[in-house]
Amino acid sequence: MACRSGCCCGSGPINEDNARFLLLALFIIVYLLCGAAVFSALEQPKEREAKERWAQRFEHFSQKYNLSKKDLSNFLRNYEEANVAGIRVDTIRPRWDFTGAFYFVGTVVSTIGFGMTTPATIGGKVFLMFYGLLGCAATILFFNLFLERVITVIAVVLKSCHERRHNKAVLPQNGQREANRAGGAGGNGGGKGEDLAGWKPSVYCVMLILGAAAILVSCCASLMYSAAEGWGYLDSLYFCFVAFSTIGFGDMVSSQRVVYEGHATAAYRLGNFFFILTGVCCIYSLFNVISIVIKQVLNWLLRRLEAPCRCCFPRRGHHPHRHPRRNVVAPGHLRARRDPSIETDGINESETDTGRRMSGEMISMRDFLVANKVNLAIMQKQLSEMAIGHPRQSSSSSRQNGFSGGVGALGIMNNRLAETSVDR
C-alpha cells in the first residue's frame, strides 16, 4: 500500500500495453515537435524570401503593363483553377487519357497520392471512394504477401551463411569428430541438427538487409530520374523516398512529359513503374520490421522504468486485482489451453470464449493486443522455419476455412481467424 501511495502516477498499477501505448504516443508527440522545430528553422527563411520576391515581381508587372492589382489577382486565381485541372505552362502529358488514368489509379491504390491529378467531377469523386476502398485493401494484402516472400529469401540466405560459419568452426575439430563417429554414427548429424534447430535469424539482420535493398533500389532509380527528368541526384533521392514511402507530396512527379528527348519514352515509363512498385514494397517491408524494433526499444524502456516504480508496471503474470472479464452476452470462462505454441501462448491466456463466440465477435480487442505482444517472437520463429526448410504446416481445418500462412501481424491475424472459425 505504501508503494501505491508513493507511486509517481498515484493511480495504481498501469497495464503494460497501456504503458507502451502512452510511451509511444509521448515519443511521437516529442518527435513531431522536434521535426517541426527543425523544418521551421530550415524552411521559414526560404519562404520569407519567396514571398518578398513575389511581391516585388507582382508590383513590377502591374506597373509595367498598367494593370490593376485586382484584375491581375483575378487572372492568377483563374490560372490556379486551371492548374488544378492539369493545365501547366509547359506542355505535359494528358492527365485523363488511358495511360494518364492508369498512372492515377496506381497512385490511388498504392496510397501515394501525388495530388497532381484529382477527379473534378462528382461521378469521379464518388467512384474514387469505392474504388480506393477495395484497391487499397488489395494492395496492402499484396505488400504483406511480398513481405512474406522477401523474408523467406532472406531467411534462406542467412541460414546458408550460418551453415558456412558452423562448418568452418567444426573443421579444426576433425579429430574429435572422427572419435565421435567411432563411438556412434549418428552423433555428428544429430549435433548439426540440434545446432540448426536452436538457431534463429536475427530480426536486426533482416532490417539491415531490407534497408540495404531499399537504398540500392533508390540509388538506381535516382540515376534514371536524374538522366530522364533533369533533376539533381539529391532531388531524385528525395523524390524516391517521398514516393516509395507513399508520402507523395506531389512537388516532384515523374513521367509527366509527353515525350522524353534522347530517351525511349515507353522504356522510361516502364522503368518508372517497376522502380516505384519495387521501392514501395521494399520500404513497406522495412517499415514493418522497424516498427518491431521500435517496440523492442519501448519494452526495454518499460523494463528500465519498472525498477524505480514496480507498482506502476507490474511483472507479467502477477495481477492480484485482475478479474475475469465478461462478454456483453454471457459470462465468459477461460478456455482450457489447446495445442500451446508460440503463437497462442499469450492469446489463450486472455480469452473468454463462450460469450464472444455467441456474440459473433471474431477477435476481441484484448486478444489483438495480447497477440501483438508476441509479434517479434512469431516472426523469429517463422524466419527459422523458412530458413531450415520446414515451414509450419497449417492444420487441415485452417486450410479448409481459408486462413493460413502470413508473416508477422498478418500471420497472427490469420492464425486467430483460423482458430475462431474452427471453434464456430
For each of the chain's 424 residues, which pLDDT tens digit applies? 444 444 555 555 678 888 889 999 999 999 999 999 999 999 999 999 999 999 999 999 999 998 898 999 999 998 888 877 777 777 778 888 898 899 999 999 999 998 888 898 999 999 999 999 999 999 999 999 998 888 888 888 888 888 888 787 766 665 555 555 555 544 444 555 555 666 777 888 889 999 999 999 999 999 999 999 999 999 999 999 999 999 999 889 998 888 887 768 889 999 999 999 999 999 999 999 999 889 889 989 888 887 666 555 455 455 444 444 433 333 334 344 444 443 444 434 444 444 444 433 334 444 444 544 555 566 666 666 666 665 555 444 444 444 455 555 555 545 544 544 444 4
Interatomic CA distance for residues 144 and 154, integer angstroms = 15
Interatomic CA distance for residues 279 and 216, integer angstroms = 10
Interatomic CA distance for residues 319 and 314, integer angstroms = 7
Give the CA-trace dihedral at 190, 191, 196, 202, to 10 degrees: 160
SS3 (DSSP) at 206: helix
CA 358 to mean position of chain CA atoms: 34
User: What is the structure's pLDDT at 208?
Assistant: 92
How many Å is the Cα radius of gyration of the chain? Answer: 29
User: What is the structure's pLDDT at 2?
Assistant: 41
Interatomic CA distance for residues 31 and 122, integer angstroms = 39
User: What is the structure's pLDDT at 163?
Assistant: 84
User: What is the structure's pLDDT at 42?
Assistant: 94
User: What is the structure's pLDDT at 365?
Assistant: 41
Cell of 174: 576433425
Q: Is 54 exposed, middle or buried (0-12, 13-18, 19+ CB in 10 A)?
A: exposed
- Residue 379: which of 280, 289, 282 has the closest Cα? 289
Interatomic CA distance for residues 392 and 379, integer angstroms = 12
User: What is the structure's pLDDT at 55?
Assistant: 92
**What DSSP designation does 389 have?**
T
Q: Scan for cell 534522347, then name that residue.
A: 262
Alpha-carbon distances of 167 from 172, 180, 201, 250, 384, rounded to whole Å: 10, 16, 17, 52, 18
Cell of 329: 452476452
Interatomic CA distance for residues 133 and 121, integer angstroms = 19
In the chain, the amino acid numbered 245 is S
User: What is the structure's pLDDT at 406?
Assistant: 53
CB 381 within 8 A of CB 387: no
Alpha-carbon distances of 186 from 35, 50, 182, 192, 193, rounded to whole Å: 60, 77, 10, 10, 11
In the chain, the amino acid numbered 159 is K
